[in-house]
Amino acid sequence: MKHSQTHTTADMDLWGQALAARLNGAALHLDHDISERLRIARQRALQAQPVPQRLLRQSQATQTNGTLTAAPEEGLNLWRLSVSTFPLLALILGLMFIQDMQQDMAESSIASLDSALLLDELPPAAYTDPGFVQFLKQQTSPAPRHD
């Protein structure tokens, strides 16, 4: 069972500060060269961020397992609808193909049985024998080889 938790902005800020503290603690063990590159990269990322922090907090939520989820997109456009129907269409076509193949196999086995009956000369009493169908199946199937 899933429990939905709503996080306030204060909870998110505390979580972000705890994460930043862990990252900063791990950065203390890095070389000076690498730590300076990381500092510059952080500054560039903060300057290039076009979305204000409060909008970012509203568009993303943290689930109970710690994964981030983006806000759902509005509407279902034509591209998403067509892409989602392709697997369903492929499944339906595959099932139709399998059904057609099975029907062809059943018809061919009935046709081979009928041709065996029409080509052989048998007395009428043989058609009423219960083991006759089994005999025909043994005659039409290839005999096993004993080498």
Tokens matching residue 39:
């500092």
Instruction: Indicate the pLDDT class of residue 9, thresholds 50, 70 and 90.
Output: confident
For the segment 70-84, the average pLDDT, to the nearest whole number, is 70
d(CA 101, CA 95): 10
Query: Which of 5-14, 66-75, 76-85, 128-137 is least confident?
Result: 66-75
* pLDDT for res 144: 57
* pLDDT for res 140: 66
pLDDT digits (tens, 9 = 90+) for 15-64: 888 888 887 777 777 788 887 888 888 788 778 766 555 555 555 555 55
* pLDDT for res 1: 46
C-alpha distances in Å from residue 53, one per residue of 58, 60, 68, 100: 9, 11, 15, 59
- The pTM score is 0.33
Higher-confidence residue of 113 and 24: namely: 113
Tokens matching residue 147:
């080498």
Residue 2 has pLDDT above 80, yes or no: no
Long-range pairs of 113-121 with CB within 8 A, sequence gap ≥ 24 = 113/137, 113/140, 116/140
Q: For 58, which DSSP code? A: H
* pLDDT for res 94: 96
* pLDDT for res 96: 97
Q: For 29, which DSSP code? A: T
Chain-centroid distance, C-alpha 109? 37
Closest CA to 59 of 49, 46, 68: 68
Residue 93 has pLDDT above 90, yes or no: yes
